[in-house]
Every structure is written in structure tokens, then in C-alpha cells.
A and B are shown apart, each in its own frame.
Chain A
Amino acid sequence: MEASRSRRYASFAGRTLVRIGLAILGGFGFLLILQNEIQYNIFDAVFLSTFARLLFSGVMNTLFFMGIVIPTGIVIGFVTGWARVSKYKFLSYPATAYVDVIRGIPLIVLVLFAYFFGPFIVPGLFGFTDVGKFFAALALALHTGAYQAEIFRAGFQSVPKGQLEAAVAVGLTRGQAVGYVVMPQMFRLILPALANELASVAKDTSFLSIIGAMELFGNARSGTQIAIYNFGRLDWVFGLWTITALLYLLLTLALSKSLQHVERRYLVPGLGSVSA
């Protein structure tokens, strides 16, 4: 079934167009309904020009934070996940404790207290808020690391044990068996869950604005204050939140799609894709 490349692109474009069309229709419907409640018009030029820069810089900052948190989180998650399935309890016990505690408390608590703790741990560096923000980002990384540890653990454990057995039976050392046989398969298995987790990270960057970082959510919130107090336009508040929501939606969708693309590249012929 080798559809020609151009035909595949055309079909993809067609489907995307239909989806976008439906989304716009849905959005219009939603706005119409809201319009009855709180009369406003999202396409007001003044509205857009006032907030465009604010929102744009917010998106940039969000992407920046994501760029810091995600790689750190993956490293932490991988190492911790590995430690959790290790047969050496001096590795697995602390890892389990770490994961269980972090997953038991709200992220906002972690972020807030990292912010408070920061200046105590590294006194005198830069200014108060900068240290706090750095630690808050670190808290995000720790949090996602704990969840990713679970993902990696499940990945390690769902590669059938027979694979490890067979690899070892052929003479590979445990390390070789894991590196050449278990890991490649695990990687494929965890992609959907990892995509979900990374999307969550994108959304959780919004917590950073609570402590003062200027990312998308925080900027949107300042925007609403401006809308109310400087312009007196209450309806702009909803426009702002709607656009913010859409921006986050785009962000998470882009993340999921790119990971699906990665998944397609690692597809093994004959095996179905893991995400339905």
C-alpha cells in the first residue's frame, strides 16, 4: 500500500484542514454561547494588539522553561526508574521513597517551597527571586522526574522477561542484555506515556507564574488585571483566557504530534503501533 508521497501529504493536509475547520466551528459555537452570557467579541483589533506581545513573550518563556525542565526530568526519571528495578535494595529503596513522596504531594507545594528554600540553601547568589525561580524550575524537574521514573520502570518491566532470559542465554552479560535488547524495546513501549508526561510538564510550567516567572499563564493573568483596571473591559478577560487556553492546547498538541512522529520512525515492521 505505497500511496505516492504527494498523495499522502494531500490526504494529511485535507484531514488537518477538516479538523481545523471543525475546531473553528466548535470555537465559534462556544463563543456564540458565551456571547449571550458575557457579550464580547474576540476579534477586536485593539484587544489583540494590546496583548499580543504579552502573550507572545509568555509563550517564549514557557518554551524556555520547558527546555530546562524536560531534559533534566528525563535524566532524573531514567536514573531513578533504573534504580527502582535494580535488585540492589540500596538503590531501589531510596528511589521508591523519593518517587512515592514526590507523587504524594501537590506540585504547587513543591514549587512554592522550593522557591522559599532557595535563598536559604544558596545564600547570597544573585537576587532573592532569581534563586527562587531556579529552585522552582528544579522542583518541576524533580516532580516530572518522579513520574518519568514510573514510566521508565513500567517500560523496563513490560519488556517480556523472556527477552532478557534469551539474551543472557546466548551469552550476553546482564549489562549487554539490557543495553542491546531491553532498552530498544522499552523505548518503543514508553513513547505514548512519555508524550503524555511531557505534555503535563508543558502545562505545569504555569505554576511558575505563581512565584513570579513571566510565562504564559502569568502574563495572561497580568493581562486580565490590565484589562479590568486600565481598560475596564470585563469581556476581554474571557477572551484572554480563551486565547491562553488555545495556546496551551497548541503547545501540547505539537508535543504529542512530534512524539508520534518519533514513534513512527522507530516502528518495527509487523508490530502494531503501541498507541491505538
Chain B
Amino acid sequence: MIRAQNIHKYFGALHVLRGINLDVQKGDVLVIIGPSGSGKSTLLRCINMLVPPDEGDVFIDGVKVTSPEIRPEWVREQVGMVFQSYNLFTHLTALQNVTLALRKVKRWDDERANRRGRELLAQVGLAAKEDAYPAQLSGGQQQRIAIARALATDPKAVLFDEPTSALDPEYIKEVLDAMTDLARAGMTMIVVSHEMGFAKGVASRVLFMDHGVVLEEGTPGEVFESPKEERTRSFIGKVLR
């Protein structure tokens, strides 16, 4: 459903992505691991065209989204994103955060948008907090609202950029649980994360990236238990403690 072909990206002279190929089917949960600076976040952003790739193409459901003829806004309706620093709109309540896209992009009226917004907040377990502002909520709650927000436009897939890396340990579980629920419900997800437990439990495939290339790819069992590459082995050894 999501296919990336030969993606290259340069930041100035730095070759951040060197020929990445990706193929994600509907319902797949792809987890990408790797050291910082390997280009994982950049890759995610190339998929929803927040950062256009310098070379290569991305296809979503057969549509070549890297083509200049395709509206980037349409791409983002198809693919949602959850950020490491949540990036909730601080001046809006939780409900308003979730419904902003519905009201402004899809042009729904307030009643319809609010109904859907409340559904989504209930889905992540935060129905009671619909009128709270992000600053009044804990990190875990904010991130779950961010997930609800990403789901608002009924996307075909959701991208997660290290969603739990900025959280206090006590809040990591609630966010991972929300993500697990989403996966079990059949959502296509691409997750960049260091949470090995999550990857082992929920991922259908795991990718290991280093210095802009995919070094290893396989099922969680294959990559974690019997990695083929030396780099992979040492990275997992370090992260798994």
C-alpha cells in the first residue's frame, strides 16, 4: 500500500538517505530501529511529503505522491503522523486539536466534527479531557491526544516518529497500549521507536537503519534473535542492555 523506491535525501552536503526501498502492505506494522542520525525520522517525513525526497519516489495506494502534480495536503489526509514532541496546538483544547483538520480541511460543520472528535478521544481513553488544554495534561495524555488527532482524517496509515522517546517512564506504557490497540484494529503503521518490547509484540516487520541505508530487514524474531549483520547485533546489544 505504501511503497518507497530508491529514496535519496541530502541536507546540504550530508547524504542522509541513501537509496531506501520500502514496501508496506495494508495492515502491516513496520518498526524501524537504528542509531540517531541514521535518517529514520527523515524517511518518515519523506513518506508524507513533509520533506520531499531529492531522488526516488513514494507511492501511496498506487498514486505517485512525489509527483509535483499531487497536492501535499491530500497526501497528509491519507497518512497521519504522530511526533516525538507531540506538537499539540497549545492554544486549543484537546477536542479542538483533534477536530481542527476536520473543520478546516474537510470542511465539516462543528457538530459533526465534534462528534467524531469525541469518538476518537474516547478511543484513546481521554473523553473526559476534551476541554483541557495541552499544558494542563501529562505527557502521556498529550501524546494520546496526538494519536487521536492523527486519526481524525481517517487515514490509511499512521506514521510514528519516536512517540515515546520524550516521555517520562510512567507514561510510556499508556501510549504504547494505545498504539497496540490501533495495530490490533488493523491500522497500517510505520513506527520509529526504541521500544523493543513493542516491536517484538506488535510488529509484523522490523527494519534496521544505519547511516541512511537499510542494513537489515525481517520479522522481529529474525532481527532481534538472529541478526545477520554485525552492526545490527552490536546496536541491539547496546539498546537491550
Do the two chains touch directly in the complex (Cβ atoms below 8 Å apart)? yes
A residues with a Cβ closer than 8 A to B are 160, 162-163, 165-173, 176, 180-181, 184-185, 188, 268-271
Given contacts A165-B83, A269-B135, A271-B133, is CB(A172)–CB(B88) below 8 Å? no
Residue ID in chain A nearest B74 by CB atoms: A171
B101 contacts chain A at the CB level, 8 A cutoff: yes
Tell me how far the C-beta of A80 lies from the nearest C-beta in chain B, rounded to whole angstroms: 24
B164 contacts chain A at the CB level, 8 A cutoff: no
Tell me how far the C-beta of B108 lies from the nearest C-beta in chain A, rounded to whole angstroms: 12
A172 B104 Cβ-Cβ under 8 A: yes
B210 contacts chain A at the CB level, 8 A cutoff: no
- Tell me, in angstroms, the Cα distance from A184 to B77 when the chains sit together: 24
B90 A166 Cβ-Cβ under 8 A: no
Chain A CB within 10 Å, residue with most, of B91, B101, B106: B91
Count B-side interface residues using an 8 Å CB cutoff: 31
- Tell me, in angstroms, the Cα distance from A167 to B137 when the chains sit together: 20
- Tell me, in angstroms, the Cα distance from A268 to B73 when the chains sit together: 29
B105 A171 Cβ-Cβ under 8 A: yes
- Tell me, in angstroms, the Cα distance from A165 to B48 when the chains sit together: 11
Q: Which residues of B contact A180 (CB under 8 A)?
A: 100, 104
Residue ID in chain B nearest A185 by CB atoms: B91
Tell me how far the C-beta of A182 lies from the nearest C-beta in chain B, rounded to whole angstroms: 10
B134 A176 Cβ-Cβ under 8 A: no
A169 B80 Cβ-Cβ under 8 A: yes
20 A–B pairs (Cβ distance < 8 Å), ordered by A: A165-B87, A166-B81, A166-B87, A169-B48, A169-B80, A169-B83, A170-B100, A170-B153, A171-B73, A171-B77, A171-B105, A171-B106, A172-B101, A172-B104, A176-B105, A181-B89, A185-B91, A269-B136, A270-B137, A271-B135
Q: Which residues of B contact A162 (CB under 8 A)?
A: 83, 85, 87
B residues 11-58 near A (Cβ < 8 Å) are 48, 50
New A-B contacts (11) at CB < 8 Å, excluding given A169-B83, A172-B73? A163-B89, A166-B87, A169-B76, A170-B149, A171-B74, A172-B100, A185-B90, A185-B91, A268-B135, A269-B136, A270-B133
B150 contacts chain A at the CB level, 8 A cutoff: yes
